[in-house]
Amino acid sequence: MQDWIDKLFQEPQLLRMGHSQRLDDLNLGLGWLYYGLVRIARPETIVVIGSWRGFSPLVLAKGIKDNLETGKVIFIDPSLADDFWTNPQKVEEHFNSFGIDNIEHFLLTTQEFVKTEAYSNLKKVDILFIDGYHSKEQAKFDYEAFEQLIPPQGFIWFHDSIGPKLSTKVYGEDKAYTYTVYQFMDELKQNKNLQVLDFPFDSGVTLVRKLSDEKSLLS
Ligand SMILES: C[S@@+](CC[C@H](N)C(=O)[O-])C[C@H]1O[C@@H](n2cnc3c(N)ncnc32)[C@H](O)[C@@H]1O
C-alpha cells in the first residue's frame, strides 16, 4: 500500500482538495477512512460524484481491488472545472497509471446520469461518495438520486460538508461560492432514521448510514 501511495502522490494534484493528505509520511488522511470502509464493507458497487483529479475514486477503487470480492466504481463527473475528464482514453490512462482498471467514468452531471440506462440498470449502490457541486441543493439532489439504491449495510459520504468554506476558483475566477453542504447535513441530522457523523479534518467529510430494522448484521 505504501508503494501505491508513493506513486499516487507523485502526482501533486492528488494532494489537493482537502482530504487531509500528507506527502511526508505518505498519509492518505481522510482517504484512510474511504479505503478502510471499502475493506470492511466489501462493496460491489460504489458511486462517486465529482472529483478534481480522482483522489476519492482511485482510493475507493484500490480498496475494491485489494478485497477478494470483485466490484467497481461508477464515477460521475461532467468535467465542469476544466477539460481533465473529457477525453475517455486519457481518463483510462490516468486511472491505469495507478494500476486501477475498475472505474467506469460518465462525463455527465448527476442530473443527466439519472436519465441514462446505466442508472436504470443499477440494482444497488453499496457506497455513495458525494463531492460534486457543493451547494445544499446539489448535495440533496445527489443524495436523493441514489438514496433508494443504498442497502441497509450501505454508506454515504459527503465531502466538504462541515462548514461554510469559500470554494476554490476551479470553476473560474468569478465563480467562487460558499459551500453549503453542511446545511444539508444539518437537515439529515434531524432525520431519526439516519446516523450522521462528521469528521472535522481539513475540508471535512460526513458519513451517513440509514438505520434499518434488520438485526442480521452480526450474524
Ligand atoms: C472540483 S471537484 C471537488 C473537489 C474535491 N474536493 C476533490 O477532492 O476532488 C468537483 C467536481 O464536481 C463536478 N460537478 C459539478 N457539478 C456537478 C454535477 N451537477 N454532477 C456531477 N458532478 C458535478 C465538477 O465537474 C468537478 O470536477
Mutate to test the pocket of ligand 1, among 51, 130, 140 (most ligand atoms within 8 A of CB): 51
Q: How confident is the model at residue 215 (pLDDT cuts 50, 70, 90)?
A: low
In which region does residue 92 sit, left (phi positive, over 0), alpha (psi from -120 to 50) or beta (all else)? alpha
- Ligand 1 centre from 217 Cα, in Å? 33
Nearest CA to ligand 1 atom 26: 50
Which tens digit of pLDDT belongs to each residue from 144-199? 999 999 999 999 999 999 999 887 788 888 888 899 999 999 999 999 999 999 99
Which tens digit of pLDDT belongs to each residue from 14-57? 999 999 999 999 999 999 999 999 999 999 999 999 999 999 99
pLDDT for the residue numbered 167? 79
Which tens digit of pLDDT belongs to each residue from 70-100? 999 999 999 999 999 999 999 999 999 999 9
Please name the helix (run of DSSP H) or strand (run of DSSP E) that holds residue 61, with its range, or none: helix 55-66
- Ligand 1 centre from 1 Cα, in Å? 27
Mutate to test the pocket of ligand 1, among 77, 111, 180 (most ligand atoms within 8 A of CB): 77
Q: Is 57 in the pocket of ligand 1 (CB under 6 A)?
A: no
pLDDT for the residue numbered 169? 85
Q: Is 71 in the pocket of ligand 1 (CB under 6 A)?
A: no
pTM above 0.85, yes or no: yes
d(CA 11, CA 17): 13
Which ligand 1 atom is at minimum distance from the Cα of 160? 6
pLDDT for the residue numbered 165? 83
Q: Domain segments of the chain: what residues?
A: 31-212
pLDDT for the residue numbered 219? 44
What are the backbone dihedrals phi and psi of residue 206, each rounded to the nearest 5 degrees, phi first?
-125, 135
Q: Is 15 in the pocket of ligand 1 (CB under 6 A)?
A: no
With beta carbons less than 8 A apart as the criterion, state whether 4 and 41 touch: no
Which tens digit of pLDDT belongs to each residue from 104-140? 999 999 999 999 999 999 999 999 999 999 999 999 9
DSSP per position, 87-122: -HHHHHHHHHTTT---EEEE-S-HHHHTTSHHHHH-
Q: Is 159 in the pocket of ligand 1 (CB under 6 A)?
A: yes
Enter the CATH code of domain 31-212.
Answer: 3.40.50.150
